[in-house]
Structure 1
Amino acid sequence: MIRKGIKMKIFKDFYDEYMKRHDEIWPEMVDMLREYGAKNYSIFLDPESRSLFAYLEIEDEELWNKSSETEICQKWWKYIKDIMEINEDNSPVSVELKEVFHLD
């Protein structure tokens, strides 16, 4: 299992909207995440810095990377582009974090 940590950033004063959208996540988005190998997926917020920290476990990096090409992922990115920092392709600006410690 591959553990991934990713940092993103939400726009100021959009915490409630971000929570609402994730509380109402589309079933087809959840299906896609699972189909592309996501397990044990959590997102945490530091409201002071507006930083989001995502943690997930995947089985296959190559398969996971293909998830961004799916129609549902592209639709989700358009749906959240107004509440968080994004790249030109609407994907969230994200920084992959290096694992430095793991207690099994």
Structure 2
Amino acid sequence: MTRVAFQLQIRAELLDEYLARHSPVWPEMLAEIAAAGRRNYTLFLGDHGTLIGYYETDDDAAAQAYLSASPVAARWEAEMSRFFHGLDGRPDQAATALTEVFHLEDQLAAAGGHAASDDDSRSGNDSESSAS
């Protein structure tokens, strides 16, 4: 699995409209994102219109190719392009990619450790304290 994060800058004067366009996103666009193989797709809004996006995929090149060929995605991206500063091309293809520098599960696995499951951490049990 590949984790992808990206950054875009929303034009301040269009921020409210941008947010309205994502509440909700067109159902056919949601279906195309899923069909492309992107999962856990999330957008975060920071100060001054900084937008951070994140998704997971098994094959990002295939996902990009799928969305590049999608008429629905082309229409969505054409409508979204005016919201961003400094883009040359479609927002989904021209966003600044971010470099991953830390991932907890990867480092725990490399160190031979493990992460407690959500159920264990909520109940106060972990594999060491519940072992007899």
TM-score, with structure 1 as normaliser: 0.88
Give the total of aligned pairs: 101
Q: Is 2:41 the counterpart of 1:74?
A: no
The residue that corresponds to 1:15 in the other structure is: 15
Deviations 1:31-85 (A, max 9, x none): 100011110011111133x211001001112211211221111101111122223
Rg larger in structure:
2
Pick 1 or 2: higher relative contact order, CA cutoff 8 A, min separation 6.
1
Amino acid at match of 1:16: D
Identity value in percent:
30
Displacement, 1:16?
Answer: 1.5
Between structures 1 and 2, the one with greater helix share: 2
CA distance in 1, matches of 2:51, 2:44: 6
5+ long unaligned stretches in structure 2: 106-132
CA distance in 1, matches of 2:43, 2:8: 10
TM-score, with structure 2 as normaliser: 0.71
5+ long unaligned stretches in structure 1: none
The residue that corresponds to 1:96 in the other structure is: 97
**SS in structure 2 of the partner of residue 62 of structure 1:** helix
CA distance in 2, matches of 1:62, 1:13: 33
CA distance in 1, matches of 2:10, 2:42: 16
Displacement, 1:17?
Answer: 1.0
The residue that corresponds to 1:29 in the other structure is: 29
CA-based RMSD of the aligned residues comes to 1.3
CA distance in 1, matches of 2:23, 2:8: 18
The residue that corresponds to 2:57 in the other structure is: 58
Between structures 1 and 2, the one with greater strand share: 1
**SS in structure 2 of the partner of residue 16 of structure 1:** helix
Amino acid at match of 1:5: A
